[in-house]
Amino acid sequence: MIYFLTGKQNPQKTKGLIGKKILITAGPTREDIDPVRFIGNRSSGKMGYALAASCAARGAEVILISGPVNLLMDDPSVHLIKVITAEEMYQQCMEYFPGCHAAIMSAAVSDFTPKVKGMNKIKRGNKKISLELVPTKDIAASLGEMKTARQVLVGFALESDNEIVNARKKLIEKNLDFIVVNSLRVEGAGFESDTNKITIIDRDNNIEEFELKHKKEVAEDIVDKLETYMNG
């Protein structure tokens, strides 16, 4: 199924991001085990693409760095860069972030990658095999280290327990301006669905909870918050 998005979908919004350049990451990453198998996750990319559409509709120039998804983006204000692995996404973010006013890190980046990747398909046998994993680079934390006073950095946290406590910790450790919290415990929220339920926590410890909404509407709430930081 193709989920078609365009930045022209929100004509009622003011052009509050004209002249701003915003980097957005979306979708999953894939870490190869061998030429036919990989480690991945259930991210559809719908949240990140909705964010890109919302920012473009408000006049921003958007750099959308996307993992493999079944989505299209039809807007000349959105520069789509397709990647596969966490390392590829890291390299693109490091290249483009210095020239951006803000970044929204909504991609579900793999936390681990196989230490050794098979050059050929691993054959089934009678013996057990072990897969050694090593950590990938933390993109949000890396951008947080290089962030300047004029830049805004937004993170995402998908939690299964202690959502607020864990999100606050990430916000501080990664030097974020605010963080968007998703819960795996809420039906209709998170990966693959068209809806989401979020809580936003900012660096001043303000907490704002939102009801379950379509991801296009959720994107508007997040970009409203972004505008307050960029134009405040």
- Residue 225: phi and psi, rounded to 5, are -65, -40
Better-predicted residue by pLDDT, 49 or 160? 49
State residue 4's pLDDT score: 46
pLDDT in tens, 135-190: 999 999 999 999 999 999 999 998 767 888 999 999 999 999 999 998 777 776 66
Mean pLDDT in the chain? 90
CA 41 vs CA 7, 115, 185: distances in Å = 26, 18, 17
Q: Is 41 a residue of the active site? A: yes
Share of the chain above pLDDT 90, in %: 74
Burial call 78-110: b when 16+ CB within 10 Å, e when fewer? bbbbebbbbbbbbebbeebbeebbbbbbbbbbb
**Annotated catalytic residue within 10, 41, 120, 126:** 41
Q: How confident is the model at residue 66 (pLDDT cuts 50, 70, 90)?
A: very high
Looking at the DSSP bridge assignments, the partners of residue 199 are: 181, 209
CATH class of 3-115+132-231: alpha beta
Lowest-confidence segment of 21-30, 100-109, 188-197 by average pLDDT: 188-197
State residue 230's pLDDT score: 87
Q: Please provide the DSSP assignment of 14-67 as one string.
A: --TTTT-EEEEEESB--EEEETTEEE-----SHHHHHHHHHHHHTT-EEEEEE-
Residue spans per domain, the chain? 3-115+132-231
State residue 189's pLDDT score: 66
Residue 5 has pLDDT above 60, yes or no: no
Better-predicted residue by pLDDT, 70 or 7? 70
